């Protein structure tokens, strides 16, 4: 297990870094004297948001695989190392009617799922070079329970959680701890379209800082492969997956998958 923690001199990359969770996380990390590099879509607004926090900014579209590699290389070149990759960039569908707009569905999956996969693949060798570290994926409660208003978002976030769980053993062997954060609704720009409904209904939403605290905890002491639910009034709790029934042999015993079919990290 890696002993990587957010300590003075550590370097973290945050994708979607100038959004609500990204800014709250950067603020928390800076309090610990961690260099937080904010990677986000290139715009004057995003560059300014990073400058306001005193954080370096790198332009990144997470759906561009090569750009993910280039950003990690830039972080290492500028700051000497990478200790934590927060794969946090995300979008949701712009509308929630009953039609399924496939183009929008694919766009959401591209950003929220493949953006995470590309980010993890890009960060892995740099984290190895740092002697271990953390990958923290911002998934969502929508990845654990179906979101009828946005199936693409549920698919992407559920896929991201499955990715985290299935990558954990091989990364743990390299001293890299990968975890997922699954917040309920939180007060950031992503809920702008629906915020009034929550207010009118008296439905509690998380603050960005509550989520940022969970993200720091995940780097500090997250269990490899864990998915942490963050909910108003509940706090941060690991989600307990029930598991699936194992195959039974003819003798009625639990069947074990042949060793040759398991990855080296699980033999």
Q: Does 209 bind ligand NAD (CB under 6 A)?
A: no
Token representation of residue 199: 């207010």
Name which of 222, 89, 206, 216 is nearest 157 in CA terms.
Answer: 89
Q: Does 185 bind ligand NAD (CB under 6 A)?
A: yes
Q: Does 18 bind ligand NAD (CB under 6 A)?
A: yes
Among 4, 13, 19, 114, indicate the residue that binds ligand NAD (CB under 6 A). Answer: 19
* Enzyme catalytic residues: 153
CA atoms in the 13 A half-sphere facing the CB of 197: 5
Q: Does 179 bind ligand NAD (CB under 6 A)?
A: no
Size of the site for ligand NAD (CB under 6 A): 28
Q: Does 63 bind ligand NAD (CB under 6 A)?
A: yes
| Tokens 């993910």, located at residue | 68
* Site map 126..165 versus ligand NAD, x via CB under 6 A: ------------x-x-------------------------
To ligand NAD, the closest distance from the beta carbon of 134 in angstroms equals 17
Q: Are 177 and 1 in contact (CB under 8 A)?
A: yes
Q: Does 15 bind ligand NAD (CB under 6 A)?
A: yes
Taking CB atoms within 8 Å and a gap of at least 24, the contacts of 141-149 are 141/182, 141/183, 141/184, 141/229, 141/231, 143/180, 143/182, 143/227, 144/182, 144/227, 144/229, 144/239, 149/93, 149/96
* Site map 216..255 versus ligand NAD, x via CB under 6 A: ----------------------------------------
Query: Whole-angstrom Cα distance, residue 77 to residue 75?
Result: 5
The residues that touch ligand NAD, with contacts defined as CB under 6 A, are 15-16, 18-22, 40-41, 60-63, 88-91, 111-112, 138, 140, 183, 185-186, 188-191
């Amino acid at each position: 297990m890696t002993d990587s923690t957010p300590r003075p001199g550590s370097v973290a990359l945050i994708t979607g870094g100038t959004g609500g969770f990204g800014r709250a996380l950067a603020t928390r990390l800076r309090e610990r004297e961690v260099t937080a590099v904010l990677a986000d879509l290139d715009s004057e607004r995003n560059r300014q948001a990073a400058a306001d926090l005193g954080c370096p900014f790198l332009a990144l579209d997470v759906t561009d695989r090569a750009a993910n590699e280039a950003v990690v290389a830039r972080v290492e070149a500028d700051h000497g190392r990478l200790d934590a990759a927060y794969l946090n960039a995300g979008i949701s569908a712009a509308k929630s009617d009953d039609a399924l707009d496939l183009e929008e569905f694919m766009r959401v999956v591209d950003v929220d799922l493949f953006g995470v996969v590309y980010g993890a693949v890009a960060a892995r060798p740099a984290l190895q070079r740092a002697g271990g570290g953390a990958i923290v994926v911002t998934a969502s409660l929508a990845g654990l329970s179906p979101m009828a208003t946005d199936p693409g978002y549920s698919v992407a976030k559920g896929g991201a959680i499955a990715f985290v769980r299935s990558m954990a053993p091989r990364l743990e062997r390299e001293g890299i701890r990968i975890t997922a954060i699954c917040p309920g609704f939180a007060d950031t720009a992503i809920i702008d379209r629906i915020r009034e409904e929550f207010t009118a209904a008296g439905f509690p939403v998380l603050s960005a800082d509550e989520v940022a605290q969970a993200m720091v905890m995940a780097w500090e002491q997250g269990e490899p492969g864990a998915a942490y639910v963050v909910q108003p009034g509940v706090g941060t709790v690991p989600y307990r997956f029930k598991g699936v029934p194992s195959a039974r042999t003819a003798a009625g015993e639990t069947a074990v998958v042949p060793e040759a079919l398991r990855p080296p990290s699980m033999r």
